[in-house]
Amino acid sequence: MTRIDEIVDGIYRISTTVDVNGGFQFNQFVIDDERPALIHTGMHQMYDLVRDAVAQLLDPGKLEYVILLHFESDENGGMDRFLEGAPGSTLACSALSHQLNLSGWNYRGRVEGHRDGEVIDLGRHKLRFLETPHVHHWDSMMLFEETTKSLFPSDLFIQPGDQPPVVTENLGSEMCGFYRAIGIFAHEEPVRRVVDRVEAVDPDWVHGMHGGSLTRESFPYFVRALRDERFAYEGKLLGRPLE
Ligand SMILES: [Fe+2]
Ligand SMILES: [Fe+2]
């Protein structure tokens, strides 16, 4: 099931809940502006579904940016077809996603690798790059949209389950338990360093890839849980214990 909601001024969440372990959501975000952008494409198999959802908001052929926050199928499995369908578009990613992956991939579209602090100007919205290595990949980055004070943290601040578009509940301990069960982070330290950084940018909104968007009121619950609780790898991969 896929739904589309405008979360805040021109930022739309496309969310599909899949039926695994009580539900898990995959979100993509459209920023409707002079230069429209799509953040995360979803997996290769989700392309038609995501494209149809984007088409309810704007012409997917007019996308100017398709943005991936680290190299993984739910971030960029649809990149080839989105870029083919929008000939004027550019794939934007971290400098490391470009150097480590895309420069050696069979990808033929235009691509820009960005470093910390660089900004993409979409018109009313401005996307600032934060390089956030090891949260949870080497090439990971986040985006901060300066006009709406929106953070796009990808897989940080996950909430499993079928969540509403905006989450006001304290699900911090559920998040940490989920991280321990799936083994997504090698260690707490690089993640907590990024938590300090993103708290300092003082977001009004946090639009994660899995779960609902957090507000200024609910964000501190998740920050506190990441500071106080364990969430790093403890021998389980996607719930499967390793000998
Ligand atoms: Fe990921
Ligand atoms: Fe993800």
Each residue's pLDDT, cut to its tens digit, for the chain (243 residues) gives 899 999 999 999 999 999 988 899 999 999 999 999 999 999 999 999 999 999 999 999 999 999 999 999 999 999 999 999 999 999 999 999 999 999 999 998 999 999 999 999 999 999 999 999 999 999 999 999 999 999 999 999 999 999 999 999 999 999 999 999 999 999 999 999 999 999 999 999 999 999 999 999 999 999 999 999 999 999 999 999 998
Alpha carbon of 140 to ligand 2 centroid (Å): 11
- What pLDDT is stored for residue 22 in this prediction? 85
Alpha carbon of 15 to ligand 2 centroid (Å): 12
Looking from the CA of 34 toward its CB, the CA atoms found within 13 Å total 7
Token pair for residue 26?
């995959």
Rounded to an integer, what distance in angstroms lies between the CA atom of residue 233 and that of residue 40?
A: 25
Residues 6 or more apart in contact with residue 158 via CB below 8 angstroms: 175, 178, 179, 208, 209, 210, 211
Alpha carbon of 169 to ligand 1 centroid (Å): 23
pTM: 0.98
b/e per residue, 171-190, with b = 16+ CB within 10 A? Answer: bbebbbbbbbbbbbbeebeb
- What pLDDT is stored for residue 20 in this prediction? 87
Alpha carbon of 85 to ligand 2 centroid (Å): 23
H helical segments located in the chain: 47-55, 73-76, 79-85, 95-96, 172-182, 189-200, 219-228
Q: CA angle at residue 92 from 105 to 65, to 5 degrees?
A: 120
- What pLDDT is stored for residue 88 in this prediction? 95
Ligand nearest to the CA of 184: 1
- Kind and range of the H or E run holding 66: strand 65-67
Alpha carbon of 154 to ligand 1 centroid (Å): 7
Alpha carbon of 130 to ligand 2 centroid (Å): 17
Alpha carbon of 153 to ligand 2 centroid (Å): 10
Residue length of the chain: 243
Ligand nearest to the CA of 138: 1
Ligand nearest to the CA of 71: 1
- What pLDDT is stored for residue 199 in this prediction? 98
Alpha carbon of 140 to ligand 1 centroid (Å): 8
Rg of the chain taking only CA atoms, in angstroms: 17
- What pLDDT is stored for residue 108 in this prediction? 87
